[in-house]
Amino acid sequence: MEAAALKIPMTLQESDEAPDMIRVPATWEEYLELAEIVPYNIDYIDGELIAMGQATDTHEQLIAQLITLFTNQLDDQPDYRVLGSNVKICVEEGRADLNADLSVVKGSSDYAVLPSGRLSTVRIKNPEIVVEVLSKSTKAYDQSDKLDLYRLIPSLKHILFVSQDEVFVRSYSRTEKPTEWLDADYRSLDDTVRLGELTLLLRSIYRKTSLSA
């Protein structure tokens, strides 16, 4: 664990002064230990730990607005729960552990299992929807490495990417063929994103940001 710890920020101040993204080799066990210590979210993919810079206020505003929109539409469906970024998405124990900005789960959570055999109630394996708010420094990573891994999750039906730098939303929706996905791009405030029976108007997503103008 010491080798990995020496290469990533261990405080929020160090994180603010570090590069926007740091990737270092680490074992699954080292990652799990560091995830309990560092005061910000880190990802793990195939023997590599990924640390990212702190979120902007626009990023957090978009997440808050999206949580509100999803919660309002799913409020009368007790099987559905909207979760924030502190609950990790575990694609497979020992392979990938990711932080989505927002996730939607139907029914009970399928928790990941730690090396000790204990269930980790902060790691779920069965989201139905995941949402990522993109930044200039992370959008390539989000739409490549993370996208590829998200699509391996059997329960996942929709993946949503929302830009914080321009009016732009990209959705991926699984078809009846498990390995086939359809994508769509939205660039106007008058556009409406459709995720199954859910609808999200871009004007509503961006209404409290400077981009709404």
| Structure confidence by residue, pLDDT tens digits, 3-21 | 555 588 888 788 777 777 8
- Whether the pLDDT of residue 80 is over 70: the answer is yes
Per domain, the residue ranges of the chain are 2-52, 57-212
Bridging pattern class, strands 158-163 and 88-92: unpaired
- Whether the pLDDT of residue 48 is over 70: the answer is yes
The model's pTM is 0.93
- Range list of β-strands (E), 125-157: 127-134
- The dotted CATH code for 57-212 is 3.90.1570.10
**pLDDT band per the 50, 70, 90 thresholds, residue 2:** low
In whole angstroms, what is the distance from residue 157 CA to residue 180 CA? 11
Mean pLDDT of 91-120: 97
Bridging pattern class, strands 119-124 and 88-92: parallel
